[in-house]
Structure 1
Amino acid sequence: ATTDRGKEFSGHERIQASLGVPMYFADPYSSWQRGSNENANGLLREFFPKGTDFAQVAHDELADALTKINGRPRKCLDWKTAHEAFTEEVLRLI
């Protein structure tokens, strides 16, 4: 996984150990190194402008935005929604 350099990843060693995956940190001011993160931020900003204090956002409001985002067909998923693509992958594991 490639992450940004936020304090939320201060326990990255535990994450790596528990998931068994390597973690990489993007260089400062190198947004192109974490494209999916930047894309997700852009999608969220359609509902919540930059600088929004998420402590003030109701759980239902956030859940509604995520449902709408995950319900959009995406070219990179062969025009499936994120929910459809995730469900297909989960069903392959069964």
Structure 2
Amino acid sequence: MASITARPAEVLGISPQLQRTLTWGRGREMAKHQAITTETGMPVYLCKPRSAWQRGANENTNRLLRQYLPKDADLRTFSQADLDAIAHELNHRPRKTHGYRTPAEIYAGLLNSGDALTA
């Protein structure tokens, strides 16, 4: 289950109140999505083909990732430390869609809110 985007150990690191479901695009990286569900107990839903509106955040994240990892990049040439550094940069990069807050700030806010599912 080699995937830059969904390693069960990292999914399990998500706060339990936020571990409900995971929705993903239909790329090759999710070919073993059943293993993620088995290891985490979290159902994985795949977006419908030709339903771009279901993949907005996924497509934006892919665009951002391409700044670090070209489409034809061999991920085997990157160490886990390299991939973790890329993830850290992206998680601490302000986003217009979040009112110029970072994903890390949004996540922290959810964790600190009284009801993480409605924040």
Q: TM-score, normalised by structure 2?
A: 0.60
How big is each residue's C-alpha offset from its partner over 1:20-71, in whole Å with a ceiling of 9 and x where there is no partner? x5724321xx372412111111111101100112122012221221111111
Of 32, 39, 48, the match for 1:8: 32
Whole-Å separation in 2 of the counterparts to 1:35 and 1:58? 28
Query: Unaligned regions of 5+ residues in structure 2, if any?
Result: 1-22
RMSD over aligned Cα, in angstroms?
A: 2.8
List 4+ stretches of structure 1 deviating above 3 A.
none
Q: Where do 5+ consecutive residues of structure 1 fail to align? A: none
For residues 61-82 of structure 1, the C-alpha deviation after alignment (integer angstroms, 9 at most, x for no partner) is 2122111111111111111111
Work out whether 1:63 is the aligned partner of 2:87: no
Q: 1:91 matched to which residue of 2? A: 112
Structure whose residues are more often helix by fraction: 1
Do the aligned residues in 2 keep the contact of 1:2 with 1:26 (CA within 8 Å)? no
Q: In structure 2, which of residues 70, 80, 101 is the aligned counterpart of residue 80 of structure 1?
A: 101
Q: CA separation in 2, counterparts of 1:2 and 1:86?
A: 18
Aligned length: 89
Rg larger in 1 or in 2? Answer: 1
Structure with more relative contact order (C-alpha pairs < 8 Å, separation 6 or more) = 2
